[in-house]
Structure 1
Amino acid sequence: MGYSTQQINSASRSTQPVGEPLADTHDYARSWAVKLGKAIKYNLGVGATTPATAGSNSNGASTVADTTSYLVRLPQGYSLHVRPHRGSRDGRKGKSTGKGGERDGPFVFGHPLGPIAAFRSPAELALHLLWLLSDSTSRADCSCRLCVRMVSDSLPPLTVLLPVATTRAPTPVPVPVPATAAAPTPVPVPVQASAPASAPPPTPKATLIAASFAMSTTSTSTTSTNPPPIGGSADLFRPWELVWYQPPQKNAWRLGIVLQLLQAPGESRSAATAAARIAPLGAPGLQTAELTLGADVLRPFLSFSVPDLRDGFQGQTFDALDWPRLVRENAQAAQAVQAYAQAQAQAQACGQVLPPGSVAPPLPRFDMATISLEASKAAANQINACFSVFGARPKVSPTQCIYGGVFLGAEQIVVGDAVRVDARRDGAADGNGNGNGSSNSNNGGDLPPGTTDIMRINLILTDHDHLRFIGDVYRLALTTAAAGSNSNASATAPPEGQLFAEELEDRNGIMLAANTQKNQQQQRWYWHLKERNGHRAENEVHGRFYVSMRLAANLRKADFLAQAAAGHVGDDMIKALNRRQQVAGFQYQGQRTSRTATIGGAIGVVLPAISGVIEDA
């Protein structure tokens, strides 16, 4: 296909046009050719070994690695460009940041998505080249960012489906790339969002999703209901949870409460959330209207840390601050300043001066936008520091109460769910001095720093106002034996729940692809039982466990997804999120009577009901 430089610049909204295509002899072109060659060689397994000339192993395979470097030129219709930096004639300063934060390149243009669609790195383009090299004619088989977006944008408009259970959804899993260069199954590789302060703008798909849902939903929250929670659900977001969201046309991240989950038309209840209604946090009376946003511009709360509060707000909880008074006093101060300025202007227009003793009033300490922003941060800190239970069961004793679920800080957690917990040696006590139940393995000795296990919750209870969790504790493990022959893997049945099954399905699909491609002995992941009915106190629970591939795609962890596409998956996503009680500014506040009491006046709407969720309040 291809685009001329004029077509690219005409379609671009940038104030700095791209230059002419770089010649093959340019440093950037050479660098891309080398990096593309390495990426293609790595993904196809080309030249991993050479014919045995210097020795071989017991199987007759060569032990001599191929150190040949391969160069891959751009396919026909694709061209490499930079935005020439001011004062530079050849674009050699292309890696710098131009005016307004624009990146100067180099970029590869030519994708059918449009003249301004560009690959920003050799790693991005390599995924597309793998598809071009394959026999596939379906763009859905390409895992590059631009093809994924092109296919997604071609989907029909979305409409609301109220009763949504946020459970199983197919997760893209890489498949083997044999010597014939068959294309991998789509694996989204978006740009990583590294901090809440700024991020790439939402894709047009997110805007279309939000607009479609906004037209088909009502603004009256009291008329909406959510489906009952399902233990072990794999979806990333749930009703009444605190999340980060990216407002339309803005790069900053903001905080809000999920009011309702929405799905695409025709999708089963097991499909992933497509969008959500969000109530922004803020000061009472200053909250902005609720938003309907695509799930790709939402993030779990523990993805980021809340920035420190400004002077004047630090050390205060949301409930402790008198927000109406703060708003009123600053509004009055702003009005006084405006009135004085008008009087001064009128006097000058008439050639007069203000009466003796007239003094300019003090400026307001904060503007309304600042007050609302600080209120959202204070509210988020308060919500994260509290918990409230629901679904009461018969009491075990006068002091022990059992529940079906809990809002633990930002997250909704129910029996059957998976949570990240502190790993523990055999016989060690939990935060309340209790033993950890029976163990299925010997964990003696020191555990590596940061070791995290996964608990399937069997019981949620409060004991003298202390929150406790009881469940089977697992750790992801990899066996090198043939599938099904490892005694540890088959000693116990895998934990029940769609989330546990999906995590193994993804990991074993990746391992199968890698082992088949490399003709290695079959390996597989399994859930290794560490404790049966282990106990964990509230401060030993980090937060919900999310399916690694779903979380990586949502957080735009390009490195993790690229490694998965190459057949490698570790525990990066288990450690990708913060621990609830170790986030900045954490001040424990304990149990609240209900989720509404926890959120307080931080949102301007009533929480819509969740079917089956009955709180003690």
Structure 2
Amino acid sequence: MAPYYPLTIHRSDGQFEVATRSGVKEVNQPTTQQMNDTPDANGNVDCYKKLEVDEAKHVDWRRKLGGMLMHLLGGKAHADRNYILKEFPEGYVLWEHVKYNVEKAGAESKKEKGKHAAGVFERQDAYLYGHPQGRKKRFRSPADFFPHLLWLATDEDGDPMNCSCKICSPDGDEDPEAFSGKSELKTEVKFHPPTLSAAPKPTTNYTPSSSTSAAPSKPAFQPGPATMSKEQTADATPGGKYIYRPGELVWFNNGSNWRLGVIAKRGLKNNKPRYLVQPLSNPHQQQKYQIKEDECLLRPWLAWSVPPTTVVQLNDMMFDQVPWDRVVRGEFDQAGHVMDYIVDGSILAAKVIDASYSLFERNEKALANPGEVHYNGMFFGAEKIWVGEPVRVRTSAPGVPTPDIVVLIIHKLIEKTTPEGASAVTFVGDVYKFVEMPTPYKNPQEWPTNPDLPPRMSMDLRYRNEIAHLATTGMWYEWRLLEPAARKGLADVKGRWYETHTLLPILRGPDKFQEDVNKGKTSDVGQFMNGRRDNNAVPEQRKKNRRDTLGQAVPLNFKVSRGLDGPPADDVFPDDQSQAQPQQPQQQQRQQQGTFDGDMSQFMNLDQADHGFYGSEMQH
């Protein structure tokens, strides 16, 4: 985990004691009755306990507050660091309200906090005491306290009228509460954001505990090459018609189960996307294509983990190592086991595809170093990616859950080769981290735009902020620049980045997705997907092109459409022959068998085979 840099707030209005209206002083904390943890007649405990500085919830509050504070005051110079309050301002103390049944908790469970899932604690809420208006004016969350903390850190006059928190602000006053030792009713927390334009520059009221360098400069975002192809432009357009791209490996619904296939072409019917899918198989049992007119019947390869083969002996073998003729004859069958050689072929082929890559559309105008070639696109494992778009970046080891949502916007795609055949691919671009925080804006008219983000990311970000705004969550989302002009290798990239509103309803299910939207919650799609080569022992493989990658798992004459960059006839679906050219009987027979005839060079030459070390003659 990255280190957290401590912040100290030098000014405080916190009070350990306050005077009541009658002039009597009282302690600014829960009452003695509220701190009583003696069980009642039914064994129920309902009390407040002081949280120590090293307890998880105490740390969590200080991390969130430190991050919010430096986001507004620190600028880009501090964007690549994590911050935490070293301590709360003097006079402020964090207390936790817990409610549980002694019999349910048990002696051992009482030592372990946070057992919500096991039903130990019925309630476990934290409250920050210390406001000079007394114990009934406590803060319920980091977002609740943040405006007050910001005022402490920045207002040189120390005038409470300048504070926009719900307690100091006249229209943010909370209703009085009666403390009886029982759990009080929770009222809705409304966050009153500070006005950014009125916030003074940072003063000595807050101090980062370590020095930072100046903010790195970065050029304006370039969405890709100077002239993008039609297909690249379509994939970069926000609100595009398609989730999936020609040549990509997907799961498809086969009626009673899900299987693996490759997108051969895509098109529109009644303004709805549809896909021609070629199932993967072993070389001796090639399957007929399928047409899918509902994107809910498809999933990205990385959405699910690949199962083991039905023939146990094949699990640790590579696709090309398998004696498929013997397998199909049943020589590897085991009594009592159901065998499916087609499925086994697709599983082993998918692993090879996942571990492979090939590049296409050389950028001849790029300024390249000796031995380097720049490309505009790449088949990266199961997916097709372009320069100018975001890809998901690993922040932990493969197979380990990624704590942060991080992307790299590709500016350059560079391959360096050697005469010996070694290939090293470098992604060059800006790295961004997804950040959520209390909204600093009063209404959508104040929302800024980030011209450095690709249009798809900008539209998706606005969508997520609109959902949060309509549900009055008080939260704001943005992409924060972590590292400009970063250089990443193949192992650093997990795969394509997908829009929330297009793929998440499919992965989560429409009902669950809508339930979250109604609450103002939207998740990043990447949180529900694997990364390339997760749990895949097949070694990294540089392939000449996509056809070379697919190998014998697809029919011999199978090809992937180049879409808008190829002849229109290539995008005609087999069930719409009214738009196709007249075919010879042999062509018709091959198409019925799930194979395609025609000019193979439209796909075979995607790698610009006449250039570079990996160039080769056309194969027919």
Provide the TM-score with structure 2 as the length reference.
0.49
Provide the TM-score with structure 1 as the length reference.
0.50
Larger Rg: 2
Q: Which has the higher contact order (CA 8 A, sep 6+)?
A: 1
